[in-house]
Amino acid sequence: SRAFHDHGSNFKLLILCTTLSGGGVLAYGEAVGASEAAVPEKKKVVVLGTGWAGTSFLKNLNNPRYEVHVVSPRNYFAFTPLLPSVTCGTVEARSIVEPVRNIFRKKMVDIQFSEAECLKIDSANRKVYCRSNISNNEKEEFVVDYDYLIIAVGANVNTFNTPGVTENCHFLKEVEDAQKIRRTVIDCFERASLPSLSEEEKKRILHFAIVGGGPTGVEFAASLHDFVTEDLVNLYPGIKDLVKITLLEAGDHILSMFDKRITTFAEDKFRRDGIDVKTGSMVVKVSDKEISTKEMKNGGEITTIPYGMAVWSTGIGTRPFIKDFMSQIGQTNRRAIATDEWLRVESTSNVYALGDCATINQRKVMEDIAAIFKKADKDNSGTLTVKEFQEVLDDICERYPQVGLYLKSNQMHDLADLLKESKGDVEKESIELNIEELKTALSKVDSQMKFLPATAQVASQQGTYLAQCFNRMEECEKNPEGPIRFRGEGRHRFKPFRYKHLGQFAPLGGEQTAAQLPGDWVSIGHSSQWLWYSVYASKQVSWRTRALVVSDWTRRFIFGRDSSQI
Ligand code: FAD
């Protein structure tokens, strides 16, 4: 097939030779050997995953000199930020997914797709081992060779090995999870309407517990509250007063990665709405009817809460085959694959990792941050003015939001103290700066931490960046290792990946959203909800899904949400 793509005229010769004799293809190879030498072989790129990172890479890859093989257990891309809306029927599941073949169809690049999951990566021999994921079919296994491997497999849920979670809790990670939650919510209402049940049992069934006060848990709690108060109370008037929603968070606050103003607003709004926000409550065990929590504020006292449905949303973990790959390449005890700033996996060649399964190497990040401070210290005096210091922090927050968060929280005492001294202290005009001390403080950052947040924004920017590097890589093909340093110059051929933080939203229900935009600009309320609608409509992967999502929102405004179980 390469011959077909590369030399249309030679294709006829190929057919002729194959027809005339069994050795035709070989004869063809010999006959056109000279012209083949002039056209370099297509490089085989294997992409694992069709989520935000993988799809963004594939959408932006334009160089026809690659032969791409995509392996993913699902043949569609899912717009995950709208999953919480699917749980309550605000948006239909089909409206937020786009078949990946639709995305590839229009591309000039040779792309093959296999609905399969990768089981093992053998980076020493440049092979990936896969197993088909097609239901009602024997799970066929196959091996794919690569010249370049792009790992974009995301992450799985993190249960922190809490007993009973896998068996009894719902997760909200995939489209199927959202559909299952939607059915279970309605099931709970139908079960609680059965005449044979006691009041206490009905109360238990209608108690919805959400574990994890991060953006996903909070958005789901808000969506569920809207669903109950706007739609279900009218359909189940007899049991409406028995419904309870509890949000359990181990830390001191919900939405702790957001600005304090947003955290406070969200906590107050939820309390006004009747959502029970229990902070300092760490879930230690889940049985089929009860959740046990350790109350940090009450000296670790264990309490049990009866529940009808529990949704677990406490962050992400590493996929087992990624753990195996990391141990193969000597990256044990990490949460994600460490890459350099060009997204190349450390201690491998031609392997790239992006999105939720990857993180940029800590040492490099620290050097980068130290360089930001050093650059701000223009006169080399070892001090920065408060304004300069604030600018440095903004710069860090933009490039590495997680580090910015660390600096702004109390977890890293040295730097947090430094920040407290400087921030809002109008009397003080400058702060002392010791780069070495700073480095020491930074080195305390937990090596498990991901320096960029696990968001669609990061994954998609990384996919675009890597595709742009690959589009230009042909120029560097003589260099077998791809994007490495210019010989002798010590300079990299491509600019390193730089994340551009465009802000984040936290929908809080009742047509109100909190938006934290770059430069710590915070907006909360109905106007931000409209901003949320516009941004999420514009970010849809195709016009088809955009039209579907907007029509779902319109349908919901006019007719309310659908409460049937299908
Ligand atoms: P994913 O998008 O998870 O894609 C991983 C891909 O790998 C999938 O196609 C999967 O099928 C495939 N895969 C899995 N295992 C294998 C295997 N063994 N072999 C091959 N392929 C495999 N981020 C935001 O920025 N804003 C938001 O509002 C937001 N809201 C969210 C709401 C929810 C409910 C969730 C769950 C996430 C949300 N996120 C949001 C986070 C965002 O979805 C992730 O950060 C993003 O999906 C990461 O992209 P990824 O490509 O790394 O992984």
Interval between CA 20 and ligand 1 midpoint (Å): 51
Ligand 1 proximity of 178 Cβ (cutoff 6 Å): no
Report the nearest-CA residue for atom 28 of ligand 1: 81
Question: Which residues belong to CATH 3.50.50.100 in the chain?
Answer: 165-317+502-559
| pLDDT exceeds 80 at position 411 | no
Q: Is the pLDDT of residue 261 over 50?
A: yes
pLDDT at site 433: 54
Report pLDDT for 496: 82
0.90 exceeded by the pTM?
no
Q: Could you read off the pLDDT of 136-180 as tens digits, one per residue?
A: 667 789 999 999 999 999 999 999 999 999 999 999 999 999 999
According to the CATH classification, is domain 165-317+502-559 in 3.50.50.100? yes
Residue whose CB lies within 8 A of the most ligand 1 atoms, among 46, 47, 57, 72, for a mutation test: 72
The residue with greater pLDDT, 447 or 320, is 320
- Identity of the highest mean pLDDT range in 14-18, 395-399, 460-464, 476-480: 460-464
Asked if pLDDT for residue 396 goes beyond 80, the answer is no
- What secondary structure letter does DSSP report for 317? E
Task: Indicate if the pLDDT at residue 283 is higher than 60.
Answer: yes
Q: Band the pLDDT of 31: cuts 50, 70, 90.
A: very low
* Poorest-pLDDT segment among 10-19, 231-240, 247-256, 535-544: 10-19
More confident residue, 68 or 407: 68
Per-residue pLDDT for 391 more than 80?
no
More confident residue, 501 or 102: 102
Average pLDDT on 267-277 reads 96
Residue ranges of alpha helices (H) inside 63-127 are 83-87, 100-105
pLDDT the model gives residue 16: 33
The residue assigned the tokens 């809002």 is 424
Q: Is 97 in the pocket of ligand 1 (CB under 6 A)?
A: no
DSSP line for 378-426: TT-SSEEEHHHHHHHHHHHHHH-HHHHHHHHSSSSHHHHHHHHHHTT-S
Report d(CA 78, CA 360) in Å as an integer: 25
Alpha-carbon torsion (35, 40, 44, 45), positive or negative: negative
Above 90 in pLDDT, residue 354?
yes
Is residue 23 scored above 80 in pLDDT? no
ipTM value greater than 0.90: yes
Residue 72 has pLDDT above 90, yes or no: yes
441 confidence band (pLDDT: 50, 70, 90)? low
